[in-house]
A and B are shown apart, each in its own frame.
Chain A
Amino acid sequence: MEDIIITVCYETEENEISTQPGIVLGDLMNQLGGRGMVPRGQTILVKKNKSDELLDLTKSLADNGIRDKDVLHVATAAKAG
Chain B
Amino acid sequence: MKETSLTDRQERIAGFKQSLIDRAVIGVIGAGRTANEVIKNLALTGFRSIFVCDMDSVSDTNLPGTVLFRKADVGEPKARLAAEGFERLAVAEGAKARWLCADACYGLGEGVLRRCDLVINCVDNTQTRLYISRICKLLEKPCVDIGISGFDWTHMASSPDSDKACYACVISPRDAHEALKRVRNSCDVTLSEAAKEDRAATIITAAAMAGGKAVETAIKILHYEEREDRSYDPFYGVITSYSAASGRTESFRVPLREGCENHLSYRELGGIRPSGLSADDELGKVLERVRELYGEGYSLSLEKDCVPVSNKAFIRRAFCKCCQAPIEVYRPQFSLSDEDLLCEDCRAAGKIPLLPSRAERIYRFSLAETEERILGMKLRELGVPALHILEFVSGDESRLPLFLELDGDGKEENI
Q: Does B239 contact A (CB under 8 A)?
A: yes
B251 within 8 A of A: yes
On chain A, the residues within 8 Å of B129 by CB distance are: 79
Residue ID in chain B nearest A54 by CB atoms: B252
The answer to whether B254 and A54 have CB atoms under 8 Å apart is yes
Pairwise interchain contact A81-B147, C-beta atoms closer than 8 A: yes
A52: interface (CB < 8 Å): yes
- Of all chain A residues, which has the CB nearest B129? A79
B residues bordering A, Cβ < 8 Å?
A: 30, 32-35, 122-126, 129, 146-149, 152-154, 170-175, 200-202, 206, 238-239, 241, 243, 245-246, 250-255, 257-258
8 pairs of residues in contact across A and B, judged by CB atoms under 8 Å: A54-B253, A54-B255, A56-B257, A58-B173, A78-B154, A78-B206, A79-B149, A81-B125
With the chains together, A42 CA to B241 CA distance in Å? 13
Given contacts A43-B126, A56-B257, A81 and B171 within 8 Å (CB-CB)? no
Knowing A11-B246, A53-B255, A73-B250, say if A78 contacts B153 (CB, 8 Å). yes
Q: Find B241's partner among A26, A56, A57, A75 (CB 8 Å cutoff).
A: A75
Is A1 an interface position by the 8 A CB rule?
Answer: no
Whole-angstrom CA separation of A42 from B171 in the bound complex: 10
**How many whole Å from B77's CB to the nearest CB in chain A?**
16
A76 within 8 Å of B (CB atoms): yes
Cβ–Cβ contact B243 & A81, under 8 A = no
Measured between alpha carbons, how far is A76 from B152 in the docked complex, in Å? 9
Residues of B within 8 A of A26 (CB): 172, 174
A79 touches B153 (CB 8 A): no
Of A11, A47, A58, which one neighbours B252 at CB under 8 angstroms? A47
CB distance from A55 to the nearest CB of B (A): 9
Judging by beta carbons under 8 Å apart, are B32 and A81 in contact?
yes
A11 to B242 alpha-carbon distance, docked (Å): 10
Q: For residue A56, which residues in chain B have a CB less than 8 angstroms away from its CB? A: 255, 257-258
The chain B residue sitting closest to A74, CB to CB, is B250
Residue from B32, B149, B171, B245 in contact with A78 in the complex, judged by beta carbons closer than 8 Å: B149
How long is the Cα–Cα vector from A31 to B238 in the complex, in angstroms? 27
B227 CB to nearest chain A CB (Å): 26
A11: chain B residues within 8 A (beta carbon): 243, 245-246
Distance from A74 Cβ to chain B, minimum over Cβ atoms (Å):
9
